[in-house]
Every structure is written in structure tokens, then in C-alpha cells.
Structure 1
Amino acid sequence: MATGEGWLYLCAVRDGHSRRVIGYAFSDSLHIDMVEMALRRAVAFRDTDCSGVIFHADRGCQYTSAQLAVVAGELGVRQSVGRTGVCWDNAQQESFWSTLKTEFYRRHRFTTRAAATREVTHWIEDVYNRRRRHSALGMTNPVTFEQHSQAAKAA
């Protein structure tokens, strides 16, 4: 996203079941470290054994790097990338980016990267995860959907 100080990049990791953003990181460059930080935050947020968890991404060099393969192995996360020319593999994440741009980003101007980071974090945590209803989740928000799923699992 553009700011008065230059570009700010966001990497977001979402739970494919609940659509909740569970890890994210910002950077002023598209570097592998940003993806690593977002993935580590997602795993820490879930605070559970991640063996068998799949981290799906597109074919960008940040996602197919040796550095990220080492990190994924360390965390017990399996990597998956979409096939070239097949948009369906990454459709859920592309939907998130579209929602972020349409409902939030295009309505704001940011003078600094810090301001953009603060405002996008608020949008992710308070609006997207806790208030925005998703048709795929029965018109509930991701946090409520997870709470209902955990209650049903416990019962």
C-alpha cells in the first residue's frame, strides 16, 4: 500500500477453515523475512502442534525460498503452492486482499508507514476478524465461527 513515506507491504496468514487472519507482518520491502514473521506469528497464535498444517501460497519467490522451507520444516508446517495459471488454488486469499482494498485501503490515505500499520492492524483485528460477516461462515465473523466450532467440538 502506498504511504507518504513509500510502499508498505503486508503478508497475512489466514486459517482456511475460519477465514480468520491469524498472523501478519508489515515491511517496507518484499522480503522473505516478512513472510517468515507472519508464519511464525500464525503458528504462535494457534499455540498448538502444527504438524500437518498446510501453508498455501502463490509461486512468489518469498514463498518458494529455501529460507522459508527451513522455517516451515522447523515449525512442522507443510508448504503448498498453487499451479501456474490456476486461480482457484489461492482464491480465498485473493478474496481477502480484494476485501481489504475495497472496504478499507481505497478509502484512506496514510502519511506514514506507522499510521498505515496501526490502521490496517485495527481493521484486521477489530473489523475483519471480529465484526465482518462471511457468507461462507453462515453470516458470522471468523472469531464467532471459531468459538462455535470449538464449542461443537467439545460437545
Structure 2
Amino acid sequence: MTEPNQVWCGDITFIWADTCWVYLAVVIDLFSRRVVGWSMSDSPNTELVAKALTMAYLIRGKPKGVMFHSDQGCQYTASKYRQLIWRYQLKQSMSRRGNCWDNAPMERVFRSLKSEWVPEQGYGSLDEAKTDIGEFLMGYYNKRRPHSYNGYLTPVESEARLAG
């Protein structure tokens, strides 16, 4: 990738909150590894991933022709989601079935989140999780956490250098 908004990728993970798992969908820009969209819910449904994609689409200025890469989870293959991809004029790409390495940058985001940020005992509520994880993704991860992929710049610094 030579600039932002060429390839985004997305995935879902789960976080413990109160007495149950809650689900987090994240979209990153592969150019800088910047988190550009996210959503949390108590259900891992198509609406969850659609909200994360819509956030990315709006935050990034409604770009056309972006390749969106994900696994073959039912949320990403649902007709409602594929229609959203079409409406936004994006292109869809999917990993080989059962191969998490095809979406390794997303797995890295989730590993960082869970090992560096999420409390060991989880969160007391979905609202608490949303607030704290939103700070991690849009604050710490994008603005303060250097990435080896970016030559040890943060995602925001990496994109700013290009705009330079």
C-alpha cells in the first residue's frame, strides 16, 4: 500500500463484561494500521460489523474503491453486509476458510488490546467496556502506540508524514 484508503480489513473478537461475552468489530487501514471504525454489542451479528464499516466509511471521507478484507464469517457474507459494501462502492476480499494468518494485522490489534489494555477480569458492563476500549482504539492505539510496521511511528504519525 502506498497511501491510506486502499485496503481496510476487519474482524470480530469477544471481551468479558459483567456476566457474559460482548463482541467487538474493528476496521483498520492497512497502510498505517490505523483503527478507522469499531462497534461493540452483546450480539455478534451483521449489524455489529455494519456499524464498524459505516464508521470507517464516514471517518475516512466516503472513499470509493477501497478493498475491504475479512474472514468468511457469516456477518461478512450476509446479503445485508454485501449490499452495504456495494452501496459504499467498496470491493470485498475474504481470507481462505479457516486461515487466521490471512488476516494477521487484525489478530495483532486484538492481541495488543487484550494483552496491553483489557483488565484481566474483564469489564463490569458493556458501557464500561465501550468507553475503555474506545479510548484504547481511537486514542492510545492510533495516537500513542508506536508500530514496528510504521518504522515505530504511531498510525496517526505515519499518515501525517505522508501528508507532510
Question: What is the TM-score normalised by the length of structure 1?
Answer: 0.91
Q: Is the 8 Å Cα contact of residues 68 and 90 (structure 2) preserved in structure 1?
A: yes
2:5 paired residue number: none
Q: How many residues were matched structurally?
A: 150
* Distance (whole Å) between structure 1 residues aligned to residue 47 and residue 122 of structure 2: 26
Q: Report whether the alignment pairs 1:71 with 2:107.
A: no
Q: Is the 8 Å Cα contact of residues 62 and 88 (structure 2) preserved in structure 1?
A: no
- The partner residue of 2:113 within 96, 100, 120 is 100
Matches within 5 A, 1:117-136: 117-136=130-149
Q: Displacement of 1:107 after TM fit?
A: 4.0
Q: State which structure, 1 or 2, has the greater radius of gyration over its C-alpha atoms.
A: 1
Q: Displacement of 1:110 after TM fit?
A: 1.3
Q: Is the 8 Å Cα contact of residues 10 and 26 (structure 1) preserved in structure 2?
A: yes
- The partner residue of 1:24 within 21, 38, 41 is 38
Q: Secondary structure at the match of 1:148?
A: helix
Between the two proteins, what is the percent identity of the paired residues?
Answer: 35
* Distance (whole Å) between structure 2 residues aligned to residue 70 and residue 39 of structure 1: 12
Q: Which runs of 5+ in 1 are unaligned?
A: none
1:44-94 CA distance string (max 9 Å, x none): 0000432x2011001110011111110000001111100124443211111
Matches within 5 A, 1:2-151: 2-50=16-64, 52-107=65-120, 109-151=122-164
Does 103-112 or 72-81 show the bigger shift?
Answer: 103-112
* Distance (whole Å) between structure 2 residues aligned to residue 77 and residue 133 of structure 1: 29
Q: Name the amino acid aligned to 1:90.
A: N
Superposition RMSD in Å: 1.3
Q: Name the amino acid aligned to 1:109.
A: G
* Distance (whole Å) between structure 2 residues aligned to residue 87 and residue 4 of structure 1: 28
Q: Displacement of 1:14 after TM fit?
A: 0.2
Q: Is the 8 Å Cα contact of residues 5 and 113 (structure 1) preserved in structure 2?
A: no
Question: What is the TM-score normalised by the length of structure 2?
Answer: 0.87
Q: Displacement of 1:109 after TM fit?
A: 3.3
Between Structure 1 and Structure 2, the one with more strand by share is 2
Q: Which runs of 5+ in 2 are unaligned?
A: 1-14
Q: Displacement of 1:150 after TM fit?
A: 1.4
* Distance (whole Å) between structure 2 residues aligned to residue 112 and residue 62 of structure 1: 24
Q: Name the amino acid aligned to 2:90.
A: V
